[in-house]
């Protein structure tokens, strides 16, 4: 998916300000001076819409809106994993499809999603894998249908465009969560069940006290850039995919929101460019807070001596916002990951490195 991410059209950034609506006012308590409220809800912003919680015995519609799956075994493992969770699995008509690197043509991939939202037998939809190509179908979904028949919809990575677009267009709370082909370890499973199945107001907190053979914890640490507590709806996902939506009506409403970001396999100068797109389109102007997930294998690149570090890039873009910011959350291209409901109101504590949902994200 990296190759397609590098073709981000940053020229669309200046148009994106017109695409930003308004979200509910967020209250922030930070070490910096309080800001005036500037985020009253616009009349065009849909009210939050919640799907029914997933239950054991429900049927999950498996779709492949991004990359194709070239071998049989990954699909078999994904189906068996969902069945082990207690679900029945219905395969999208084109889940085995391939058009170039994509899991079928644009029409085929969008049709599978639309068909499953229309199918009363299907309780929720989960992506098989990420990759690239979701931006090609974001304008081909039947949002009126999705609004009439709200269901669980989840995935991460390239699915960033769809989970944010569906929420922006319909108000449906969607889920930045493991794809069906992910490693369903105990950590990921615990948070998925809590949020999507048990309708809990989950606490999203990194593992604590895992020192291993070391004197202190070295992995999955939290780093606080600016302490403070803030509340707002959650929006975000993969940085490259999110920034590629700038200027479109599918870009999330960031006013008063808690923005969460993650990335993989991008040089630091590209991370800087993507963040500049968000800044220039006004997406950072009225945030309540920022949660940075894992930026896996995002380094300077060969022969790039003297580049800014990620610490410096994040400081440059986020410290001037005077909102709570922390880094290291279990969000991203990692084995253990949170299930983050896009559009759900949450409270972040940047010093503690926690996100707490303020209510259930499903009914």
Of the candidates 157, 161, 188, 243, the residue annotated as catalytic is 157
* Residue 77: pLDDT band with limits 50, 70, 90: very high
Per-residue CA distances from 24 to 37, 150, 288, 346 (Å):
10, 21, 11, 12
Which fold, 59-197?
Rossmann fold (3.40.50)
pTM attached to this predicted model: 0.89
Catalytic residue list contains 157: yes
The answer to whether residue 9 scores a pLDDT higher than 70 is no
Please state, in angstroms and rounded to a whole number, the distance separating the CA atoms of residues 63 and 288.
34
- Domain residue extents for the chain: 19-42+203-357, 59-197
The answer to whether residue 7 scores a pLDDT higher than 80 is no
The answer to whether residue 212 scores a pLDDT higher than 70 is yes
Of the candidates 262, 263, 266, 347, the residue annotated as catalytic is 262
pLDDT tens digit sequence for 254-286: 999 999 999 999 999 999 999 999 999 999 999
The answer to whether residue 20 scores a pLDDT higher than 90 is no
pLDDT tens digit sequence for 226-250: 999 999 999 999 999 999 999 999 9
pLDDT, residue 304, reads 66
For 30-34, 88-92, 286-290, 298-302, which range has the lowest pLDDT when averaged over its residues? Answer: 30-34
For 15-19, 108-112, 161-165, 346-350, which range has the lowest pLDDT when averaged over its residues? Answer: 15-19
Of the candidates 111, 243, 333, 347, the residue annotated as catalytic is 333
Catalytic residue list contains 262: yes
Which fold, 19-42+203-357?
Glucose Oxidase; domain 1 (3.50.30)
pLDDT tens digit sequence for 153-178: 999 999 999 999 999 999 999 999 99
pLDDT, residue 15, reads 47
Give the residue among 234, 226, 229 at the shortest CA–CA distance from 258. 234
Catalytic residue list contains 111: no
């Amino acid at each position: 998916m990296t190759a397609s991410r590098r073709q981000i059209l940053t020229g669309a950034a200046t148009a994106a300000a017109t695409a930003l609506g308004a979200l509910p006012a967020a209250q922030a308590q930070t070490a910096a001076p309080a800001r005036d409220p500037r985020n009253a809800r616009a009349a065009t912003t849909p009210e939050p819409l919640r799907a029914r919680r997933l239950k054991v015995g429900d049927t999950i519609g498996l779709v492949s809106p991004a990359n194709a799956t070239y071998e049989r075994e990954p699909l078999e493992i994904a189906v068996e994993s969902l069945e082990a969770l207690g679900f029945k699995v219905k395969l999208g008509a084109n889940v085995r499809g391939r058009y170039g690197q994509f899991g079928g043509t644009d029409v085929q991939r969008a049709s599978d999603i639309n068909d499953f939202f229309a199918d009363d037998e299907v309780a929720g939809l989960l992506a098989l894998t990420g990759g690239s190509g979701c931006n090609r179908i974001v304008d081909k979904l039947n949002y009126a249908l999705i609004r009439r028949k709200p269901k669980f919809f989840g995935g991460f990575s390239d699915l960033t465009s769809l989970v944010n677009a569906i929420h922006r267009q319909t108000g449906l709370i969607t889920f930045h969560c493991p794809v069906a082909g992910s490693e369903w370890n105990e950590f990921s499973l615990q948070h998925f069940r809590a949020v999507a199945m048990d309708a809990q107001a989950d606490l999203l907190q990194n593992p604590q006290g895992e020192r291993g053979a070391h004197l202190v914890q070295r992995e999955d640490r939290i780093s606080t850039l600016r302490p403070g507590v803030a509340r707002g709806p959650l929006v975000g996902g993969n940085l490259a995919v999110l920034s590629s939506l700038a200027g479109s009506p599918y870009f999330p409403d960031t006013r008063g929101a808690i923005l969460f970001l993650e990335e993989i396999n991008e040089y630091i100068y590209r991370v800087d460019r993507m963040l500049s797109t968000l800044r220039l389109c006004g997406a950072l102007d009225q945030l309540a807070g920022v949660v940075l997930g894992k930026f896996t294998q995002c380094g300077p690149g060969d022969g790039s001596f003297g580049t800014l570090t990620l610490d410096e890039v994040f400081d440059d873009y986020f410290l001037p916002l005077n909102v709570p910011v922390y880094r290291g959350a279990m969000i991203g291209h990692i084995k253990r990951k949170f299930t983050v409901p896009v559009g759900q109101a949450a409270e972040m504590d940047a010093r503690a490195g926690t996100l707490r949902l303020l209510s259930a994200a499903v009914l």
